[in-house]
Homo-oligomer: A and B are copies of this chain.
Amino acid sequence: MTEPRFDRVLITGAAGRLGTELRRGLAPLARELRLADRAPILELRPNETAMIFDLADEAACHAACAGVDAVVHFGGTPHEAPWAEILDSSIRGSYHIYEGARRAGVRRIVYASSVHAVGFHRLEDHVDAAAPVRPDSLYGVSKCFTEALARLYWDKFGIESACLRIFSSFPEPGDRRNLWSWLSFGDCVRLVEAALTAPRVGHTIAFGMSDNPVKPVDDRLARHLGFVPQDGTAPFRARVEAAVPPGDPAAPSVMYLGGRICAAGHPEDRDEGQL
């Protein structure tokens, strides 16, 4: 495209790991990126504006949505957490953003859902986006909530949503599970860009993984987004396998899509359950 597709795009969670990548990657798509986070957002570029607030703040969420063409909603707690935190940042926060978008006339939202919405499916199940949810954590339940909310806002209010079930987006694959679950930063940006610019999204659920050799899910129901991964874990395999011993195929952390969170207890029982 010779000029930006959008006038203004809101990115929530803009101070986070992926938010930082998205600032850079999505810059060509919009004249202005409006960045939102509760943490400070550093090194603003000329095409960027920042708004600092908590997603639990309804009025601030509505204000952030005003005047934008599209929302890239990557904010909220990024891993398992106590209920109060999940409730405020992921459930109430997502409702505030969707309702803000509705009131502001936003037409499309790209939402950072997660593999943890379906974490209790097994690798060999090869689920597609139509499979029933099987969350592996309160965090995962909150992703199911927002996917359902997004479905309502499409069916009833005509706001399109691409819910991206991101697996593991890090600079490099760090363990054996990442050898199949990795989404490179580059592919993450490409996936969001595809979701923003696809001709029709409706309510789409897509799996966010790079082109890794081991493929435990079937992404065919998102092929209309036009996402074509460019990266994969093949070059990293030898190094990772040398560093990390094989897991037990019958261990929940190996057998389930969600990995070790599936083996963790309730977040309020003890200090565990991190992503």
What string of 1s and 0s marks CB contacts (under 8 Å) between A1-37 and chain B? 1110100000000000000000000000000000000
CA distance A214 to B194 in the complex (A): 9
- Residue-wise, chain A 205-241 has the 8 Å CB interface mask toward B (1 for contact) of 0000000111110101101111110000000001001
A224 partner, pick from B108, B124, B134, B200, beta carbons under 8 A: B124
Whether A202 touches B249, Cβ cut-off 8 Å, given contacts A87-B92, A124-B221, is: yes
Does A104 have its Cβ within 8 Å of any Cβ on chain B? Answer: no
* Interface residue count on the A side (C-beta < 8 Å): 80
Q: Are A202 and B124 in contact (CB under 8 A)?
A: yes
Given A117-B148, A133-B151, A141-B152, 18 other A-B residues pairs in contact with their CB atoms under 8 A? A3-B242, A5-B246, A83-B99, A87-B92, A120-B156, A124-B203, A126-B220, A129-B132, A137-B152, A137-B156, A140-B152, A155-B262, A158-B250, A180-B226, A200-B255, A202-B249, A213-B226, A218-B223
**Can you list 7 A-B pairs, Cβ within 8 angstroms, ordered by A?**
A120-B151, A124-B200, A124-B204, A134-B155, A194-B213, A199-B214, A200-B249
Say whether A187 faces chain B, with CB atoms less than 8 Å apart.
no
Q: Select A1's contact among B92, B133, B242, beta carbons within 8 Å.
A: B242
> A260 within 8 Å of B by Cβ?
no
Q: Is the CB of B198 within 8 A of A214?
A: yes
Query: In the bound complex, do residue A148 and residue B145 qualify as a contact, i.e. CB atoms below 8 Å apart?
Result: yes
- Decide yes or no whether A135 CB sits under 8 A from chain B: yes
Are A238 and B1 closer than 8 Å at their CB atoms?
A: yes
Chain B's closest residue to A179 (CB) is B199
Q: Which A residues form the contact surface with B (CB < 8 A)?
A: 1-3, 5, 83, 87, 91-92, 95, 99, 102, 107-108, 117, 120, 122-124, 126, 129-138, 140-141, 144-145, 148-149, 151-152, 155-158, 160, 176-177, 179-180, 194, 198-204, 212-216, 218, 220-221, 223-228, 238, 241-242, 246-247, 249-250, 254-255, 262, 266, 268
